[in-house]
Amino acid sequence: MSRNKILCCANSASKSHILLSIPYLLIDSIKARFYYPNFLLSVFLTFNMNRDFNMKKLFYSEYKLGRRFLGCLAYDKDLISSIENFCRDTSISMATFSVIGAVSSVTIGSYDQKQQVYVTFKEKAPLEIVSCTGNISLKDGCPMAHAHIVLGDEQGKTIGGHLFSETIIFAGEIDIQELTGKPMKRAYDGTTGLMLWKPSI
């Protein structure tokens, strides 16, 4: 079993903070002229938006059930890529899913909250999928699968964590429930270092 570290994509964080402050500057431009220099107002609003975005309070969206798909996943293909490609081909932008079956190799990980990186583990072995659940939302305009998985070996020992590519399918059956409504979008969160769901502005 090998161990790697995958750095979170944080390159666009500073740009996104600046861009996110612009709508508020436009809306409150008159007030800004009298009470705040634009720079200070931008910093203040960016802090408040990040505070809300960082899950200080619950935000949510309501969805209705759309189409539901049951299918067999292709042999010897990557699990994450297979799900994302299917969602792209069927125009699914928001969904939940579950998978049962088996894999011939797996890449899973856990998040180091102090260093803000994923520590990943790779294993090439026949493993049964005990549980695999996840969701689909948009990142950079494309469907992104976020999933966790638990796997068992021939002795009944289990491992689990955040699911990554490359995880190769031996056999798999998937249940995808589409959700209709305005899709959630993932964006960088400066507090956790994660790509989290972000409320629409």
Residues 48 and 117 in one domain: no
CA 97 – CA 35 distance, rounded (Å) = 49
CATH number of the domain bearing residue 131: 3.30.1330.80
Q: Are residues 85 and 117 in the same domain?
A: yes
List Cα–Cα distances, 114 to 7, 37, 118, 192, in angstroms: 13, 35, 11, 9
Q: Across residues 78-83, what is the average pLDDT? A: 98
Which of 24-33, 105-114, 131-140, 171-180 is the least confident region? 24-33
| The pLDDT value given to residue 23 | 38
pLDDT(76) > 50: yes
Q: Which whole number is the average pLDDT over 123-150?
A: 97
List residues bridging with 132 in a β-sheet.
149
Q: Are 9 and 195 in contact (CB under 8 A)?
A: yes
The answer on 95 and 52 residing in a single domain is no
The domain of 24 spans 9-56
48 and 146 belong to one structural domain: no
Q: Is there a domain that residue 76 lies in?
A: yes
The answer to whether residue 113 is domain-embedded is: yes
- Report the share of the chain in percent with pLDDT over 90: 68
Residue 199 domain-assigned (yes or no): no
Residue 1, domain member (yes or no) = no
Q: Are residues 158 and 82 in the same domain?
A: yes
Residue 34's identity, in one-letter code, is F
- Do 89 and 176 share a domain, yes or no? yes
pLDDT at position 59 is 82
Q: Same structural domain for residues 24 and 114?
A: no
pLDDT above 90 for 12: no
Verify that 83 and 173 share a domain, yes or no. yes
Its pTM stands at: 0.73
**Domain assignment of residue 91, yes or no:** yes
Q: Name which residue leads in pLDDT, 24 or 125.
A: 125
158-191 pLDDT, tens digit per residue, is 999 999 999 999 999 999 999 999 999 999 999 9
Q: Tell whether 68 and 146 lie within a shared domain.
A: yes
pLDDT band at 53 (very low <50, low <70, confident <90, very high): low
Q: Which residue has the tokens 């067999």?
A: 72
SS (H, E, C) 23-44: HHHHHCHHHHHHHCCHHHHHHH
Angle at 82 between CA 77 and CA 86, to 5 degrees: 145
Distance CA 89, CA 74 (A): 15
Residue 22 has pLDDT above 70, yes or no: no
Place of tokens 């203040």: 44
The structural domain count of the chain equals 2
pLDDT of residue 44 exceeding 90, the answer is no
Q: What is the pLDDT of residues 94-119, one digit of tens each?
A: 999 999 999 999 999 999 999 999 99
Q: Do 18 and 35 belong to one domain?
A: yes
Do 82 and 157 lie in a common domain?
yes
Average pLDDT, the chain: 80
Q: Which amino acid is at 65?
A: L
pLDDT recorded at residue 54: 54
Rounded-to-integer distance, Cα 92 and Cα 66, Å:
10
Q: Is the pLDDT of residue 13 over 90?
A: no
Q: Are residues 22 and 105 in the same domain?
A: no
